[in-house]
Amino acid sequence: MSRKRRFFWVTITRQYLIAFCLLVLLLYVLTLPESYHLAVLSTAVVSTPVKYDVIIDPGHGGIDSGGIGAGDIYEKDIVLDIALKMRDFLEERGLKVGLTRSDDSDVTHLANIRGTRHQRDLNGRFLAMHEGSIGISIHANVTKDPKEKGAIVFYMRDSYIDQIYAKTVFEELEKVQVLNHPEPIPRGNLLLLKAKPPVLLVEVGFLSNQEDLNKLVNPGFRQVLAEAIGQGVLNFHNFYRLEQSE
Ligand SMILES: [Zn+2]
């Protein structure tokens, strides 16, 4: 009798174990980072027609304020203004410019996946990048160390053309803003950089640093910054266009 019961107990345990494993597997798949969806995305992306010379992506927006600096300075507002100024600068020089957002909203409506608001927002930006021959995402940093300051340029790791793009923008950026790092930084884990066209992510400075914050709240400095990054984008665009036509 006791033997039978034990057998029964073992059977139940196995069934629970299988069910538990399946549940864990399901939870794991659901929590996989956005990059997991890349394989699914790339097929959808191939058919996306290129409509712009450059796509500018002002980070965050809507309920996502991004980093917050002293005095309630939101990253989303700072980077939107820089992006709009960049658009004007580049359009004046004959480029067709697309924006992922041109007001205080997120870009979840551009997504083609289901998921959290953050996942759909990132997916929307990723997809939008494929409407341009090149792209650039503008952000501002926040960190615990108030002494940390300066701009950073991120590019896709192991991509030679993206590295050239990064260096081209970096060269212009260092004329007007302190740099956090002596050269552009390669990254392999940023979804936006994995887009098919060359894409950079530029952090324009630290909102958590008083010096950077003072600069970034100044519209005049944002104009200078927008023109410098814009000039870098323009220089690379001209180079890349020739490179592709060869
Ligand atoms: Zn950001």
Q: How does DSSP assign 127-148, residue by residue?
A: HHHTTEEEEEEEEEE--S-TT-
Q: Mean pLDDT across the chain, nearest whole number?
A: 89
CA of 75 to the centre of ligand 1 (A): 7
Residue 11 scores a pLDDT above 90: no
Band the pLDDT of 184: cuts 50, 70, 90: very high
What mean pLDDT comes out for the span 19-47?
58
Q: How far is the CA of 240 from the centre of ligand 1 (A)?
A: 27
Is the per-residue pLDDT at 32 higher than 70?
no
pLDDT of residue 39: 41
Residue 38 is predicted with a pLDDT of 47
* 87 pLDDT higher than 60: yes
CA of 44 to the centre of ligand 1 (A): 26
Domains and CATH numbers, the chain: 47-245 (3.40.630.40)
Q: At which residue do the structure tokens 């940390």 appear?
A: 148
- Classified as helix, coil or strand, 10 is helix
Question: Residue 25: phi, psi to the nearest 5?
Answer: -60, -45
Measured in Å, residue 237 CA sits from the centre of ligand 1 at: 24
CA distance 156 to 52: 21
Q: If we measure between CA atoms, which residue out of 209, 233, 203 comes closest to residue 70?
A: 209
Query: Residue 5's pLDDT is what?
Result: 53
Predicted pLDDT at 19:
79
